[in-house]
Structures are given as C-alpha cells and as structure tokens.
Amino acid sequence: DAVVHQFIHSVQPLLLNRCALAGCHGPSPKSTFILFRTSAKRPIPHRISQRNLYNTLTTLDLVQPENSSLLTAATTLHGAQNQPVLGIDAPQDLASLVNWVRVVASTDRLNPWPH
C-alpha cells in the first residue's frame, strides 16, 4: 500500500526527527499526539510503525486535508518551539508531508492497513 510505504520510508522519519526528538511528541510527551521510536541504531519494528501511522492518521482531516492538525502544527509555533517545525528552511519536507496527507485523503479511508 502506497500510503503505508510512504509513511514508513519518508513521513515517519521526518516526524521522528522533527517532532519526537523535539520533546513534544516523543518520550514523556506534553501532547496527546505521541510518536514511538527505537534507538537510532536499530530499525523501527513494524508494530511501532503501525502505532505511529495510526496516531498520525488521527491528526488528519480527510474531508479538508489542508486543515489537518498535523499540517497546522508543523507549520505554526506550538509547544516550546521558537519556530515552526517545518518552516521556510524545510520546503521539501513540508511538500512531502502535504502530498502524503492528500494521498491519504484520496485513498480508501476504511482500510488503511494491508492484509
């Protein structure tokens, strides 16, 4: 499934590096949006990727994808940040995230998991 593949290979690493490590959404989060990770030297087990995907999907507005809280939070100040997580310094990362959200919104919303 393209949504899951793109999440595991591009969206999840982006979120883990930009959001989980910032202290907002990783260990001891200050938010309800939680991302799980393993040590930097170990690959992320599929079950953890599934949890991260599920948690990320709950932040999406499938009717109006541009209004998804995932995108809003990534592009505005929140938490203890002094700049947006994906600001003008990361246009490619932001474009990738926006594209993924649009792909999710345009696919089968009832069955995001491959069998």
Q: From the first residue on, what is the mean pLDDT of each consecutive set of 10 residues in the chain (115 residues)?
A: 91 83 58 78 89 94 92 77 69 90 80 49
pLDDT of residue 32: 75
Q: How far is residue 17's CA from residue 66's CA, in Å, rounded to a whole number?
A: 22
Instruction: Please choose, from the candidates 17, 10, 57, the residue with its C-alpha nearest in 3D space to the C-alpha of residue 37.
Output: 17
State whether residue 40 is helix, strand or coil. Answer: coil
pLDDT of residue 16: 86
Phi, psi torsion values for 88, nearest 5 degrees: -65, -15
